Amino acid sequence: MMVFRMNDWKTMARAIGIDAPEEQLDRTVGPLTGLETVFRQAVAALEPGVEPAVIFDPEPGESSR
Partner 1 sequence: MIGQMAKSLRTGEATCTQLTATALERLAANEPRLNAFICVLDEPARRRAAQLDSELASGLDRGPLHGIPIAIKDLIHLRGERTTAGSRLFDDFRASESAEVVDRLESAGAVIIGKTGLHEIAYGITSNNPHFGAVRNPRDTTRIPGGSSGGSGAAVAAGIVPVALGTDTGGSIRIPASFCGCVGLKPTYGRVSKRGVLPLGFSLDHIGPLSATVDDAAITLNAIAGHDSLDPTTSRRPVEDYRPGDSASLQGVRIGRPTTFYMERVAPGVRARIDAAFEAAAQSGAQIIPIETTEVEEWNAVARVVLLAEAAAALGPYLQYREGFGPDVLALLDQGRLVPATMYIQAQQLRTQLVDRARTLWRHVDCLFTPTTPTIAPEIGAVEIDVGGVNEDVRLATTRLVRGINLLGLPAISLPCGDAGGLPAGLQIIGPPFSEKRLLEVASALERAIVA
Contacting residues toward partner 1, per CB under 8 A: 2, 4, 6, 9, 12-13, 16, 18, 20, 24, 27-29, 31-32, 35, 38-39, 42-43, 46-47, 50-54, 57, 60-61, 63-65
**Residue 6: CB minimum distance to partner 1, A:** 7
**Residue 63: CB minimum distance to partner 1, A:** 6
**Residue 19: CB minimum distance to partner 1, A:** 9
CB-based contact 13:25 (threshold 8 Å): yes
CB-based contact 44:1 (threshold 8 Å): yes
Give, for 43, the enclosing helix (H) or strand (E). Answer: helix 22-44
